[in-house]
Amino acid sequence: MSHARKYLIAGNWKMNLNSAEGAELAQDVASLVGQQTEVSVCLSPTYTALESVSKVVNKSNLLLGAQNMHQEAAGAYTGEISAEMLRHLFASFVILGHSERREYCGETDTIVNEKTLAALAANLKPIVCVGETLEEREAGRISEVIKTQVQGALVGVTTAQAENLVIAYEPVWAIGTGKTATPEMAEAVHAEIRSLLSGLFGAEAADKIRILYGGSMKPENADDLLAQPNIDGGLIGGAALKANAFAGIVESALKLSK
């Protein structure tokens, strides 16, 4: 039953929870699943809660992630945050190119690529999000969209850097909607992503890259999704805001790791 790669369960809290509320949720998650080391578990609060959550996370085996960063190292970019600033707070991961940022903040594949390179250069592990809209799925364009997004985000990434990459497949129509891709639908796209990665970095490196599924993952559907050979974890929105639900997903991954 054991899985080829170490599972990563990453919570994306989006624009929810202030610094005190974030620390409280992190503490609850830490009490439930913060001691085990078999599954990587990452919490991604808002920027203002990073420091308080970092303090909780650092006393456990949980890891810290950010939801975005700027591609430049420093300078006149009002309102932005650099990779180095995130590292200073002990962040391990950064979510890049989430569909909400692509839709509301105009992030293109080129911007996601610049951010990916900057994150890797700063020793932050990027969680690069890709996924098709319902319109694109219905038009039979899934493979084309995924290929453009994956290859577009990874221009210039070296094979040596690839082991620090994480890809999240998040069908846009499944995010926050309660609609989940079936395990078979998700697995088919994950296998395609792995083969794209193999084309870029070779099979050996591609086999080490974790590909997460995101889109209404919850304890009720986590077992079946995580049991797929190319689904190496989850990027969790709504369910990550409830300690028990989030821990339930981690428990699924733990069970499948044995």
Minimum CB distance to ligand PEP, residue 215 (Å): 5
Residue 140, by phi and psi: left (phi above 0), alpha (psi -120 to 50) or beta?
A: left
User: Does residue 232 touch ligand PEP according to CB under 6 A?
Assistant: no
How near is the Cβ of 249 to ligand PEP at its closest, in Å?
Answer: 10
Output phi, psi for 236, to 5 deg.
-115, 125
Evaluate the CA torsion angle 185, 186, 191, 197 in order and state its sign: positive
Confirm or reject binding of residue 181 to ligand PEP (CB under 6 A).
Answer: no
Q: Does 154 bind ligand PEP (CB under 6 A)?
A: no
* Residue 113 tokens, joined: 């690529």
Q: Quick check: 132 binds ligand PEP (CB under 6 A)?
A: no
Helix (H, G, I), strand (E, B) or coil at 169: strand
Question: b/e for 142-179, b at 16 or more Cβ within 10 A?
Answer: beebbbebbebbbeebeeebbebbbbbbbbbbbbeeee
The region of 27-35, 47-55, 101-109, 168-176 touching ligand PEP under the rule CB under 6 A is 168-176
- Work out whether 171 is an interface residue with ligand PEP (CB under 6 A): no
- # binding residues, ligand PEP (CB under 6 A): 13
Per CB under 6 A, 176 contacts ligand PEP: yes
Told to check if 248 binds ligand PEP by CB under 6 A, we report no
Contact in structure between 153 and 97 (CB atoms under 8 Å): yes
Is position 237 an interface residue for ligand PEP (rule: CB under 6 A)? yes
Residues marked as catalytic? 98, 170
Told to check if 105 binds ligand PEP by CB under 6 A, we report no
Of positions 7, 12, 157, 232, contacts ligand PEP by CB under 6 A: 12
Could you tell me the two tokens for 52?
């308080």
Indicate the SS3 state at residue 130.
strand
Between β-strands 125-130 and 93-96, what pairing exists: parallel, antiparallel or unpaired? parallel
Stretch that binds ligand PEP, among 20-28, 45-53, 191-199, 208-216 (CB under 6 A): 208-216
**Identity (one letter) of the amino acid at 43?**
L
Minimal distance, residue 144 CB to ligand PEP, in Å: 22
Q: How far apart are CA 89 and CA 181, in angstroms?
A: 35
Question: Does position 166 bind ligand PEP by CB under 6 A?
Answer: no
Q: Does the protein bind ligand PEP through residue 228 (CB under 6 A)?
A: no
238 lies in the binding site for ligand PEP (CB under 6 A): yes
Question: 236, 249, 250, 253: which one contacts ligand PEP (CB under 6 A)?
Answer: 236
Q: Of the listed pieces 1-9, 18-26, 67-75, 232-240, which binds ligand PEP according to CB under 6 A?
A: 232-240
Strand positions, DSSP E, the chain: 8-12, 40-44, 63-66, 93-96, 125-130, 166-169, 210-214, 233-236
Residues lying near ligand PEP in the complex (CB under 6 A): 12, 170, 175-176, 214-217, 235-239
